[in-house]
Amino acid sequence: MFLNVALLGECRGYRPVLRSGARSGDLIFVTGRLGGTQARRHLVFEPRLAEGEWLARQGLATAMMDLSDGLGADLPRLARASKVAFHIDEGSIPRARGATVEQALNDGEDYELLFTSASSHVKTLKRKWPFATPLHCIGVIGHCRGSAQEPFFAHGFDHFKQR
């Protein structure tokens, strides 16, 4: 048995924020806390739809995606799409209660937002943020020289890996 699901949507009154818009000097943000899969938080979650739409309407995000496969898989995807490198401070990664840094990097199904914002917009972003969902700056986007990328030892969630 095969089951496929496709969703279509449109942006009315604003342009979509793609993965490919990050630029050198942008700061990297995540919403909420990561690594809650072990506590089964992935079974009851609130997708960050309002937060994502607000960021797009305000023009404060340069690149954005949800964290469905874990920060360790999704941040490199965003960087590849934008043709940039990244540097994160592992100590600044917000973790769910009881989650390790490794779980925060590699557990999937957090359903938080990963986005970049120009450093010149950060004060406005923090001042105007209308949501109870916390924002966390975890790093910075840098220039990508050739195919070189900062060593990143996280791998994210792999649906096909045997547990």
Q: Which domains does the chain have, with CATH numbers?
A: 19-142 (3.90.650.10)
Residue pLDDT, tens place only, 98-124: 888 888 888 878 889 999 999 999 999
3-state helix/strand/coil string of the chain: CCCCCCCCCCCCCCCCCCHHHCCCCCEEEEECCECHHHHCHHHCCCCCHHHHHHHHHHCCCCEEEEECCCHHHHHHHHHHHHCCEEEECHHHCCECCCCCHHHHHHCCCCCEEEEEECHHHHHHHHHHCCCCCCEEEEEEEECCCCCCCCCCCCCCCCCCCCC
Instruction: Report yes or no: 67 and 10 within 8 Å, Cβ to Cβ.
Output: no
The pLDDT assigned to 87 comes to 93
Cα–Cα distance between 114 and 79 in angstroms, integer?
A: 11
The pLDDT assigned to 21 comes to 97
| Positions of the chain with pLDDT lower than 70, given as ranges | 38-44, 145-163
The pLDDT assigned to 68 comes to 85
The pLDDT assigned to 24 comes to 96
Pick from 126, 119, 70: which is nearest to 95 by CA?
70
Instruction: Report yes or no: 136 and 102 within 8 Å, Cβ to Cβ.
Output: no
The pLDDT assigned to 103 comes to 87
Q: Which two tokens stand for residue 110?
A: 């957090």
Edge-to-edge order in the sheet of strand 85-88? 63-67, 112-117, 27-31, 135-142, 85-88
The pLDDT assigned to 121 comes to 96
